[in-house]
Amino acid sequence: MAKATKKQALGRGLSALLKDPENDIKAVGDKNADKVVGNIVELELDFIEVNPFQPRTSFNEEQLRELASSIRELGVIQPITVRKLAFNKYQLVSGERRFRASKLIGLTTVPAYIRIANDQESLEMALVENIQRQDLDPIEIALSYQRLIEEIDLTQEALSDRVGKKRSTIANYLRLLKLDPIIQTGMRDGFISMGHGRALINIDDSESQLDIYEKIIDKNLSVRATEALVRSFKDPSAPTKTAKSIPAAAKKQNDLLGSFLNAKTSINMNAKGKGKLVIPFDSEADLARIVKRIQGED
């Protein structure tokens, strides 16, 4: 207990040091810099701005609320990392979800590691930290890799060492950026997987990519079926594997459901009877209509 009290007192002492204009720390060689840089400090949220280099462009609201609930009960277990910009002004390097969740429940301070970093170092830290720790979608990861290569001037070999990934893995992600932007958006929104994207990369022109992409969505094709479709497109004479047929009873149920919902429903099913049912919709209004129909309100 005494140890925890001592740690909290240290945090308050560092916070007071940071608020003293006479002790404004701008570089690692400044007086008292060793007391602040690399230490955990209770930092006011109002002094922190988000990082413009953050590769994540969207945050799952439900997961954010769950994290906020956890922070309310247990506090911020892992400190965020910030870099000092000016007196009482800091910028996030990593930990934006924790930062947002803390603000969501009305906290005024958050534990933070303070770094002295220039824009290039901040960009690299933000990108590498997010690639390693966050569930970025494949396109966000690819864009992060691309920025590290172009803006930090890293080779794929150096990037491989920096992020702890095989060079072939990095190359596979970067190749996704050659896909048509519409397909990239579909991957970011979860309509297709990275496996689908990797199959589509083998088609050179965008128009053909989009034709196959539409078939993937309309027929709810698996990655394996997509790979077969791409092979047949590139070489029409190549033999293709016959897709597994859906049991007659399951097909009948799908037809009945599609008729009931007035929607082109589709199903995939494996040999064990497990599968996936897809109910497409044309707009928000069409989705609302389908939901009402399911609920028996229509």
101 within 8 A of 92, measured Cβ to Cβ: no
| Run of H or E residues at 6 | helix 2-19
To the query of whether residue 96 is one of the catalytic residues in this protein, the response is yes
16: closest CA among 50, 48, 49, 44? 44
- Give the Cα separation of 123 and 52 in Å (integer): 9
Q: Scanning the structure block, which residue is given the tokens 């006479």?
A: 22
Choosing from 61, 66, 73, 96, which is the catalytic residue?
96
Question: What's the N-to-C CA distance of the chain in angstroms?
Answer: 62
- Give the Cα separation of 100 and 86 in Å (integer): 22
Identity of residue 188: R
Identity of residue 235: D
User: C-alpha 51: how far from its chain's center?
Assistant: 16
Report the sign of the C-alpha dihedral through residues 102, 134, 196, 174, in that order.
positive
Count CA within 13 A, CB hemisphere, residue 109.
Answer: 13
Other Cβ atoms closer than 10 A to 274:
8
51: closest CA among 139, 10, 2, 112? 112
Other Cβ atoms closer than 10 A to 57:
11
56 within 8 A of 136, measured Cβ to Cβ: yes
User: C-alpha 205: how far from its chain's center?
Assistant: 28
Give the residue numbers marked as catalytic.
96
